[in-house]
Structure 1
Amino acid sequence: MINWNNLDTVDSYQELSKVARVNLAEAMNGENGAERVKKYSVSMGEGLVYNYAAKQVDDNVLAALAKLAEETQLIEKFEALYNGEVVNTGEKRRVLHHMTRGQLGEAVVADDVDKRTFYVEQQKRIAELANKVHNGEITNAAGEKFTTVVQIGIGGSDLGPRAMYLALENWAKVNNTFKMEAKFISNVDPDDAAAVLNTIDVAHSLFVLVSKSGTTLETLTNESFVKDALKNAGLDASKHMIAVTSETSPLAKSDDYLAAFYMDDYIGGRFSSTSAVGGAVLSLAFGPEVFAQFLDGAAEEDKLAKNKDLLANPAMLDALIGVYERNVLGYQNTAVLPYSQALSRFPAHLQQLDMESNGKSVNRFGEPVNYQTGPVIFGEPGTNGQHSFYQLLHQGTDIVPLQFVGFKNNQMGRDVLIQDSTSQQKLCANVVAQIVAFACGKADEDRNKNFEGGRPSSIIIGNQLNPKTLGALLAHFENKVMFQGFVWNINSFDQEGVQLGKVLAKRVLAHETDGALKEYSDLLNI
């Protein structure tokens, strides 16, 4: 039997709060630090390693975290989720994004269909369309191939797919799997759509409209913007557009689209990169085989997340260390710092994934919680961030836990030797230096140059960023967020916080305003 209890009522949490704190600066100095780097590391699959030596943990803390994982039944709750139980209590829905990349448990039948079969069928349909586009069976009115795909969507319909596309764009070019350039329109700001349309040839562009409900205001507004551009070019919009939506939406059976691919209510937008939401644009951009490799990497990490041994389950371990930092050590933020330009938009995706999922102040039953939940997530790729906000990270008044990501090899295979080292070596040298600098600090009589140290970080290390490692990386963070939500006893799978603004915006557009709403509307000439 699964028990859903608030964190502050859990005995092992009380024990965790009493465990002696680790002096990170001392622990990471000299040979002690060297031993920690060797010891505190776990495989993530696909050649990735999660190293947490520079976190404020030791064997005693880890033992307490293992008790917390057991008492809060994290593995049992994960099993309930992937076996189709209704764990999204707010919306009374199953949560099935794992099933888009593999079958972790028993068959799940919902809406009178086997859901794994349903998701695989959508992937097959997407692959068939992508192949027809690539080989010229589906063309524009002039019989010419489409060269550009443009995704129209917002939130999870944009952030994840955009981050994944950028992560693999250069890899695909080098490995001869680059099929079509992808662009993204998300913001209802007309400058967003106009800027994209100004950089493409609409006659050779295929547009992917993504809206589960088929009613998303920003997305439908941008669709109209695009349809207007197609009409002005003398083109039939229905021959240039496909839809990704639910089977019950008004877009599903519309003649306005070449084809419609389906998702369902069991996959939240921020968890949808491995569904048709990411599948259509990534399969068109890189080919269905590359998207399949991406899914394989995610599936491999999902399997690791089933492991009851905390020290062999990287996502659960990362999650619990994060809970320890948030609820015992009192850290409010987490910085995501990929030392890979290809992951330039990955922190933005994780920002939504984490903050929309775990930015909750009530538990699964709608009751207020008396402890901190999700942290603020932010980040930029290294080394750019070093010349931006690292000053605060090193010497600011707040300690911010850090999540580094680094790869031994670059994607494009091009480099240059300058001052006895390559660019890639310089990149890796910087991330190594930052980990130790944050942890150990540097004493100086000049307080302006003094570094206290004791600033915790972990790093995920891989050989190269490719479709499989990207899939594993994505699934790691999805599973981390899920486990943390279980510990905090919150529902990580709804997002009521985005709704109020939508309701008020409709009132403004209908001129049904008073008070401050009217005054601000007048200031902006609405």
Structure 2
Amino acid sequence: MITWKNLDTLTAYQELANAKKVNLKEAMTGENGADRVKKYSVPMAEGLTYHFAAKQVDDNILAVLKKLAEEAQLTEKFAALYNGEVINTGEKRLVLHQLTRGQLGDKVMADGVDKRAFYVEQQQKIAEFARKVHNGEITNAAGEKFTTVVQIGIGGSDLGPRAMYLALENWAKKHDTFKMEAKFISNVDPDDAAAVLYGIDVAHAIFVLVSKSGTTLETLTNEAFVKDALKNAGLDPSRHMIAVTSETSPLAKSDDYLAAFFMDDYIGGRYSSTSAVGGAVLSLAFGPETFAQFLDGAAEEDKLSANADALQNPAMLDALIGVYERNVLGYPSTAVLPYSQALSRFPAHLQQLDMESNGKSVNRFGEPVDYVTGPVIFGEPGTNGQHSFYQLLHQGTDIVPLQFVGYRNNQMDTDVEIQGSTSQQKLCANVAAQIIAFACGKEDDNRNKNFEGGRPSSIIIGDQVNPGSLGALLAHFENKVMFQGFLWNVNSFDQEGVQLGKVLAKRVLAHETDGALKVFSDLLNI
């Protein structure tokens, strides 16, 4: 039987809090460090490996973390989720994003249908539509092929799909699967839509409107912006737009769209890249076969996340170490640092995934918790970040745990040798050096040049960013966030924190304001 308990009531958590701390600088210096690197790693799917030698753990702490995972019933709770129990207690919903890429457990029936079959059906419909666009069966009114796809959506309808598109754009070009350029409109700021529309040929663009409810203010505003641009160009908007929405939304059966593809309330926006939300734009951009490879990579990583042995389960282990850092060691934030330009927007996606999921101060039952929960997530790709905020990471007053991601090879298979090494070797040399620099530091009598060290990091290493490895990387972090939510006993699948500002904004637009809200509204000429 599953029980949902606060973290600070678990016996293993008390043992963890009392466990002897690891001196990371000593542990990672010399042969000790070499031995740790060889010892502390866990294989992931698609050739990736999670390395955690530079984290403040040892065999004793890992043993306690394993106890914590078992006492918190992380494996059982994940099984309850993928077998269709109501895990989203805030909205009384199932949580089914794993079903978009595979069947981990029992058949899940909801709304009178087999949900896995429903998601596969939508994927097949998207694939058929994409192929017809690519081969010219679906065209603009002049019978000409579409060359650009533009996604209109915000939050999870933008961040994940945009990050995945950018991650695979060069790979697709190199492997001859690049079909259409993709652009994204998300911000209600009119400059966002205008910049995209001025930069494309709207006559050869197909627009994907993404709104589960069909009522998202920012998205519908941008849709109107796009429709005006199409009409001003003498075009029929209904010949240029498709919808990704729920079956019950006003968009589902509207004549304003060439086609509609469906998602449901069981997939949160930040978990929707493997649903129709990501499927439509990525299948149009790269072909449905590429999107299928992406799903397969995520499915394989999900299987590893179901492993009951926390020390052989990379996402669970990553989550446990993260909770140890947050709740015992007291570190308030985490930096995500991919050493791959392809992952330039991946930290932004993880920012929403993590902070919207676990930025909670009450537990699953609405009771205040007496411990910290989700950390602040930020990041940039290396080596750019090294010339930006690494100063604080190395010598600032806060210790910030780091999550590096690195690859042995680039995507384009092109490089140049300068001063005895290639660009890719220079990139990889930098990430290897940073791990040791953060952990071991450097003593110097000049305090301005002294590095204390003792700053923990992990790294996921792979061969190359490709559809399969990207899917595995995405699923790893989705499952890490899920396991941390289970440990903190919060509901990781609602997001009430985004609602209050929206409600007040509607009051402002209706001129139903007083006090400071009215003054700020007047200052902004609303």
Q: TM-score, normalised by structure 1?
A: 1.00
Structure-2 separation of matches of 1:104 and 1:308? 14
Report what 1:473 is aligned to. 473
Report what 2:165 is aligned to. 165
- Structure 2 unaligned residues grouped into runs of 5+: none
Residues 38-80 of structure 1 deviation map (CA, whole Å, 9 limit, x = unaligned): 0000101100000000000000000000000000000000000
Aligned with 1:46: secondary structure? helix
Report what 1:293 is aligned to. 293
Deviating 4+ runs (over 4 angstroms): none
Counterpart residue type for residue 371 of structure 1: Y
Q: Does 1:304 align with 2:304?
A: yes
Counterpart residue type for residue 64 of structure 1: V
Q: Does 1:147 align with 2:147?
A: yes
Report what 1:458 is aligned to. 458
The CA deviation at 1:377 is 0.0
The CA deviation at 1:160 is 0.1
Report what 1:264 is aligned to. 264
Counterpart residue type for residue 192 of structure 1: D
Structure-2 separation of matches of 1:428 and 1:8? 40
Counterpart residue type for residue 86 of structure 1: V
Q: Does 1:491 align with 2:495?
A: no
The CA deviation at 1:456 is 0.1
Aligned with 2:33: secondary structure? helix
The CA deviation at 1:514 is 0.1
The CA deviation at 1:464 is 0.5
Structure-1 separation of matches of 2:309 and 2:486? 17
Matches within 5 A, 1:497-512: 497-512=497-512
Residues 332-383 of structure 1 deviation map (CA, whole Å, 9 limit, x = unaligned): 0000000000000000000000000000000000000000000000000000
Structure-2 separation of matches of 1:432 and 1:300? 27
Structure-2 separation of matches of 1:170 and 1:12? 46
Structure-1 separation of matches of 2:177 and 2:188? 32
Aligned with 2:129: secondary structure? helix
Q: Does 1:131 align with 2:124?
A: no
Report what 1:515 is aligned to. 515
Report what 1:284 is aligned to. 284
The CA deviation at 1:327 is 0.2
Residues 237-273 of structure 1 deviation map (CA, whole Å, 9 limit, x = unaligned): 0000000000000000000000000000000000000
Structure-2 separation of matches of 1:240 and 1:45? 38
Matches within 5 A, 1:29-178: 29-178=29-178
Report what 2:375 is aligned to. 375
Structure-2 separation of matches of 1:89 and 1:268? 13
Report what 1:335 is aligned to. 335
Q: Does 1:204 align with 2:186?
A: no
Aligned with 2:337: secondary structure? strand
Counterpart residue type for residue 335 of structure 1: A
The CA deviation at 1:98 is 0.1
Structure-1 separation of matches of 2:4 and 2:472? 28
Report what 1:429 is aligned to. 429
The CA deviation at 1:310 is 1.1
Report what 1:18 is aligned to. 18
Counterpart residue type for residue 242 of structure 1: I
Report what 1:350 is aligned to. 350
Structure-1 separation of matches of 2:374 and 2:169? 31
The CA deviation at 1:279 is 0.0
Structure-2 separation of matches of 1:75 and 1:354? 20
Counterpart residue type for residue 160 of structure 1: G
Q: Does 1:388 align with 2:388?
A: yes
The CA deviation at 1:304 is 0.1
Question: Percent of aligned positions with the same letter in both sequences?
Answer: 85
Structure-2 separation of matches of 1:384 and 1:45? 28
Report what 2:229 is aligned to. 229
Structure-1 separation of matches of 2:195 and 2:45? 40
Counterpart residue type for residue 476 of structure 2: H
Report what 2:323 is aligned to. 323
Structure-2 separation of matches of 1:336 and 1:351? 9
Structure-2 separation of matches of 1:369 and 1:19? 23
- CA-based RMSD: 0.3
The CA deviation at 1:311 is 1.4
Structure-2 separation of matches of 1:445 and 1:17? 35
Q: TM-score, normalised by structure 2?
A: 1.00
Residue correspondences, number:
526
Structure-2 separation of matches of 1:280 and 1:506? 31
Residues 440-498 of structure 1 deviation map (CA, whole Å, 9 limit, x = unaligned): 00000100000000000000000000000000000000000000000000000000000
- Structure 1 unaligned residues grouped into runs of 5+: none
Structure-2 separation of matches of 1:74 and 1:463? 30
Report what 1:186 is aligned to. 186
Structure-2 separation of matches of 1:234 and 1:403? 50
Structure-2 separation of matches of 1:288 and 1:436? 41
Structure-1 separation of matches of 2:233 and 2:445? 69
Report what 1:247 is aligned to. 247
